Amino acid sequence: MEIEVGRMNRLRVDREVDFGVYLTPIDSPSTAADDTEESKKLEGILLPGRYVPEGLEIDDEIAVFVYADSEDRLLATTETPKAMAGEAAFLRVVAVNRTGTFLDWGLPKDLMLPYGEQKRELEPGQFCTVFVYKDKYSDRVVASTRLNRHIGLTTAHYKPGQQVDIMVVARTDLGHKVIVNNEHWGLLYENEIFKPLRNGMHTTAWVKKVVNDDKVDLTLSPPITQRFSTVADQVLKAIEANDGFLPLNDKSSPEAIRRRFGISKRDFKAAVGKLYKLRMITIKADGLYIKE
The answer to whether the 87-149 and 163-219 domains have the same CATH topology is: yes
CB neighbours (10 Å) of residue 83? 23
Distance CA 180, CA 227 (A): 21
pLDDT digits (tens, 9 = 90+) for 34-53: 554 444 445 689 999 999 99
Asked if 235 and 272 count as a contact pair (C-beta separation under 8 A), the reply is yes
Helix boundaries (H) for 155-284: 224-241, 254-261, 265-277
Reply yes or no on whether the pLDDT at 159 is more than 50.
yes
Confidence of residue 139 (pLDDT cuts 50, 70, 90): confident
Q: What is the pTM of this model?
A: 0.75
- DSSP letter for 257, please: H
Residue of higher predicted confidence among 274 and 75 = 75
> Which CATH code for domain 87-149?
2.40.50.140
Which pLDDT tens digit goes with each residue over 218-263? 998 877 656 566 788 889 999 999 999 999 988 899 999 988 888 8
Would you list the domain boundaries of the chain?
8-77, 87-149, 163-219, 224-290
Report yes or no: 239 and 281 within 8 Å, Cβ to Cβ.
Answer: yes
CATH H-level superfamily of 163-219: Nucleic acid-binding proteins (2.40.50.140)
The topology (CATH level 3) of 224-290 is: Arc Repressor Mutant, subunit A (1.10.10)
Other CB atoms within 10 A of residue 243 CB: 8
First to last CA, the chain: 61
What is the dotted CATH code of the domain comprising 8-77? Answer: 2.40.50.140
69-126 pLDDT tens trace: 878 889 999 999 999 999 999 999 999 999 899 999 999 899 999 999 999 999 999 9
Inter-helix orientation angle 224-241/265-277, to 10°: 80
Q: Report the C-alpha gap between 231 and 220 in whole angstroms.
A: 13
**Mean pLDDT of all residues in 164-182:** 97
3-class secondary-structure state, position 177:
strand
**Inter-helix orientation angle 265-277/254-261, to 10°:** 80
Report yes or no: 38 and 87 within 8 Å, Cβ to Cβ. no
The torsion of the CA quartet 11, 12, 13, 19, rounded to 10 degrees, works out to -10
pLDDT tens for 183-225 read 999 999 998 887 889 999 999 999 999 998 789 999 988 776 5
